[in-house]
Amino acid sequence: MRREHGTPRDGWEKTIESQGLAYHRAAHPEGLTRPYWDESIHYVFSLEEVEELEEQVEELHGMCLRAVEHVVSTGRYADFAIPSWAQGDVARSWERRDPHLYARFDLRYDGTGPAKLLEYNADTPTSLVESSVAQWFWLKDVHPDGDQWNSIHERLIDRWRELTLPTGPIHFAWTNMDETGEEAMTLAYLQETAEQAGLSTVAVAMEDIGWDELNRRFVDVEERMIRSAFKLYPWEWMLADPFGRHAVRHATWIEPLWKTLLSNKALLAVLWELYPDHPNLLPAYLDGPRNLDSYIAKPLLGREGASMRIVTPDGTQETPGSYGQEGYVFQGFDALPDFEGERPVLGAWVIADEAAGLGIRETTGLITDDTSSFVPHRIEHP
């Protein structure tokens, strides 16, 4: 694994915008000199490294599924801040194995040892357009004979074909709260993959979904019944909304309700309990840092690196934010590796239950947040 420099393509901004990355300017806070999409550098991996990462990702995913089974069988919903009224619905969603599409692991990796799990984005993972489409076309333009860990697009289409869903179109629900356009473009891309799989689709705003009290069903603005829907609206928000009690029992949602247990950082502590000292895990606890000299306190339902606190013998660092009311997990702190002053975090994609590709974000800080840049990668063959 190494970091290489290169010359950006002429007109790269318009190129990636035409490929769906239309939000690359808005996705970055103002005042940053580095663009969100940065193809002036990229990471190079050996085939052996990628094959080892694939194995580790699939092992981690299997461990996470077994952790869900453990939480459901032991009723540990309080550790995940699941409302008491929804706990039985979470269990039934898991017992039915409600269909799931995709997820993204965030990993610490420097090429010299096993990857370490930082968190699992299993409900509303983003950076999909960058990982699946934009970096693939970068590879074809810049390294036409090169390879990349990236079968995301093909696997998404295959997965849509595999899913057993109710009759009627799949509704793809975006929200008016999306200020950057990232969610809208991600939804549009996923809707396109579903259509390429031969499915009928309809776009709808989350705010325009109505509840038909008489017939006990969700409907869109044209009064069509919503039997199945893909959303990037987090389950914890849905459970807090007035319609949440209906949502858990009506319509097929992708991602399914049982994903609340994978997208919650309490998962990290459960994994450490079930698999202590596993080479791909960092120690993690729910009741405090215990004997950890260096740790990071993460809100169970935090986003974009907000409301985190790093504690080391050298001092404490905190990020702003309003998360944390539901509690924290305390995870052993292992700083992201330093490559020329930048710290990459690997986003390893899982489609269905198989490793499917890689996206990389990097930043100069210790926490990957909304100031990070997405950079492409390639595989170097011997």
**Residue 108, pLDDT score:** 98
- State both tokens at 102: 């995709």
CA distances from 364 to 3, 45, 103, 146, 370 (A): 14, 21, 25, 28, 12
Do the Cβ atoms of 266 and 274 come closer than 8 Å?
Answer: no
What burial class does residue 9 get, using C-beta atoms within 10 Å of its C-beta: 0-12 exposed, 13-18 middle, 19+ buried?
A: middle
What is this structure's pTM? 0.95
**Residue 254, pLDDT score:** 97
User: pLDDT tens, 12-31?
Assistant: 999 999 999 988 876 667 66
**Residue 27, pLDDT score:** 65
**Residue 76, pLDDT score:** 97
Give CB contacts under 8 A, 24+ apart, made by 183-191. Answer: 183/126, 183/232, 185/20, 185/21, 185/22, 185/23, 185/129, 186/126, 186/128, 186/129, 186/232, 187/230, 187/232, 188/20, 189/20, 189/128, 189/129, 189/132, 189/133, 190/101, 190/128, 190/156, 190/230, 191/230
Residue given tokens 């009759």 in the structure block: 167
Phi, psi of 249 (to 5 degrees): -120, -5
Phi, psi of 88 (to 5 degrees): -65, -35
- Helix-strand-coil percent breakdown of the chain, rounded to 5? 30, 25, 45
Give every residue of the chain whose pLDDT is below 70, as ranges.
26-28, 30-31
**Residue 26, pLDDT score:** 67
